[in-house]
Structure 1
Amino acid sequence: MATTTRERLISLLSDSGDYKSGQKLSEKLGCSRTAVWKHIEELRKEGYVVEAVQKKGYRITTRPNNLLPGEIKHQLDTEKLGQEIHYEESVSSTQEIAHQHALNDAPEGTIIIADEQISGRGRLGRSWHSPKGSGVWMSVILRPNIPPQKAPQLTLLAAVSVVQGIEQVTGVDAVIKWPNDILIDGKKAVGILTELQAEADRVNSVIIGIGINVNTAAFPDEISNIATSLKIASGNEIERANLVRSILEKMEKLYNLYLEHGFSPIKLLWEGSAASLGKRVRVRTITGELFGKAQGITEEGVLLVEDDLGTLHRVYSADIELT
């Protein structure tokens, strides 16, 4: 997707913090000075503080904490991930929209991101609390040349990316609970949902949904004892676009590593951030419960749990609880 005039203006006004004259902006953007002024007024309505000084020009002094494409793309260092962004103020689910874009041949790395999800969902059809203006609700479209059975590996890759991004931006220690939850201080801060568009022997697209409680200050009573946010954990308001940039940059590096060297290096990184390895867990599947010690994951991303009799179980899909 081509960079819009608005996105280019944000980049120009943010570059090095220097003032940019209306004439220079007009020349760079290929539009009239009147059009430049109108774009600046629109930016102000979106929450940007644009300082105007006579004979010097304009510059952005304060940026809003939003998820608009121009904010995410500002200083984004990726080749594919996030180069095409579809932003919506409110959606039922970013996953649903991503599926449509993927079917319509959206390029790899396209992201769908929203300020609010009305019907956010997680694994097993569960709902996901996605209030307006407080979190990151996004879906990433990937098109790896892998067989469908390897797609779960990308859930684990995404989890490592999110942990790395959170730690870089906030300094908060986050850990992964197999297969798709990220915990901070024992409470859930992130959920990841991976879905496929595939044929019998090949993947057409992998759609990774990521929901992050960023600046949520409080949760509904029914989840307040199990959910947390980056703001609660760090004590600070987090710039959401900066967090998204960091996660996309980490994910692209790990994805390229995965495509070149397979799952082994991702597996090591995942195990280094795992909450449950070496600990006693309760495993709940559709067929029953299992208690034992989490020993690691296989090259396919399957969880290995050793029960009290020493039998090693391969867990493909389950809810895991530390005991």
Structure 2
Amino acid sequence: MASNMSKTSLVCQRQLLQYLADGSFYSGQWLAEQLGISRTAVANYLNELKQHGLEIFSVKGRGYKLASLIQLLDANKIKKLQTADCAQILVQHITDSTNSQLLSRLQAGQNLEPGSVIVAEAQSAGRGRRGRPWYSPFGTNLYFSCYWRLELGVPAAMGLSLAIGLAVCRLLQQHYQLPAKVKWPNDIYVNEKKIAGILVELSGQVDAACDVVIGIGLNIGMPEQSAQHIDQPYTDLRTESAQHVERNSLVVALQHQVVSVLREFSATGFTSFVPEFNQFDLYANRKVSLMAKLPISGICRGVDKQGGIIIETEKSTEVYYGGELTLRAGG
């Protein structure tokens, strides 16, 4: 019964959003009549969406209205935009985490085609690096996870998050003409503000082929309330680009860029990406602090062929690798 209720809730939420998506006011009574449910049920379904970060105005005598226009992800549109050789893109309404969804499929023994993608309108338990929560409001951003397989095992993944960062930068430059940069080891910045983050998770043995799940959270149109949930400077595509952002096209373009990079990475490792990364490095030749057990201050001198960051201090030049390290501007 619970699963039926959940499915009913999902269907009703989608139907309500299809009416509200044009940005007009609709009365609770009218919406209830269209869906064949009570006004109370309408209010409850819209309240559930509010709890997932969707901004909805409720005005007595006028009804309900979205604070800003949204474009729902559409599995059929996405499929039509893909070329015949693309792996499947699965669209979810609200999920815990797109990365978790792919990992659970792997753990259940499902055979996934490399390049397969899950996207969702919202995440209830989105994750960033080091287990930090990833704010995932409904219908405004992109929550994207892609499956891949590395035949050379876990050690072959060195530098992968940086290579994926370059895939995102390529997309932002080519499609939106944005001066995107990679902040080591896994963030994308535009004009010194974070626009995307990457979470790479591995499943497998050190000495055998391993499964890789690559999560990308890309800010498209952050709601005003986002500042209450995020403790660093951030931006989004709508703020930085004068162009209309078509989310269904964006999903397909991102899959194409990510799979292209993954194919090259599988063949060469990070080595072939080093020159490009050093062009896109947010902190290239700038003073930085590496937050470790003992903070390290120096000048960022790019990365090595395994994706380790090179920092020149007054005493020496050393290479440091990800894990628990965080990089910041200044010294």
With normalisation by structure 1, the TM-score equals: 0.75
Pair 1:252-2:256 in alignment? no
Would you say the 8 A contact 1:165–1:247 is kept in 2?
A: yes
SS at match of 1:90: strand
- Note the residue ranges of structure 2 that are not aligned, 5 or more in a row: 1-14, 23-69
Bigger shift: 174-183 or 219-228? 219-228
Structure 1 Cα separation of the partners of residues 302 and 95 of structure 2: 37
The code of the aligned residue for 1:274 comes to: D
Q: Which residue number corresponds to residue 116 of structure 1? A: 122
Check 1:144–1:313 CA distance in 2 against 1; reply closer, same or farther (3 A cut). closer
Q: Which residue number corresponds to residue 207 of structure 1? A: 213
State the shift of 1:300 in Å. 1.2
Pair 1:175-2:194 in alignment? no
SS at match of 1:72: helix
Structure 1 Cα separation of the partners of residues 210 and 19 of structure 2: 37
Structure 2 Cα separation of the partners of residues 221 and 97 of structure 1: 27
Structure 1 Cα separation of the partners of residues 272 and 278 of structure 2: 10
The code of the aligned residue for 1:208 comes to: I
Structure 2 Cα separation of the partners of residues 227 and 178 of structure 1: 16
| Total equivalences in the alignment | 264
With normalisation by structure 2, the TM-score equals: 0.73
Structure 2 Cα separation of the partners of residues 269 and 279 of structure 1: 17
State the shift of 1:236 in Å. 4.3
State the shift of 1:68 in Å. 2.4
Q: Which residue number corresponds to residue 76 of structure 1? A: 82
Q: Which residue number corresponds to residue 125 of structure 1? A: 131
Alignment of 1:96-107 (within 5 A): 96-103=100-107, 104-107=110-113
State the shift of 1:128 in Å. 0.8
Check 1:293–1:217 CA distance in 2 against 1; reply closer, same or farther (3 A cut). same
State the shift of 1:47 in Å. 9.2
Check 1:184–1:309 CA distance in 2 against 1; reply closer, same or farther (3 A cut). same
Q: Which runs of 4+ in 1 moved over 6 A?
A: 46-49
Alignment of 1:1-323 (within 5 A): 65-77=71-83, 79-80=85-86, 83-103=87-107, 104-218=110-224, 219-221=226-228, 223=230, 226-285=233-292, 287-317=293-323, 318-323=325-330
The code of the aligned residue for 1:188 comes to: K
Would you say the 8 A contact 2:143–2:218 is kept in 1?
A: yes
Would you say the 8 A contact 2:135–2:230 is kept in 1?
A: no
Structure 1 Cα separation of the partners of residues 74 and 20 of structure 2: 11
Check 1:98–1:199 CA distance in 2 against 1; reply closer, same or farther (3 A cut). same
State the shift of 1:221 in Å. 3.5
RMSD: 2.4
Structure 1 Cα separation of the partners of residues 19 and 145 of structure 2: 23
- Note the residue ranges of structure 1 that are not aligned, 5 or more in a row: 1-41, 50-63
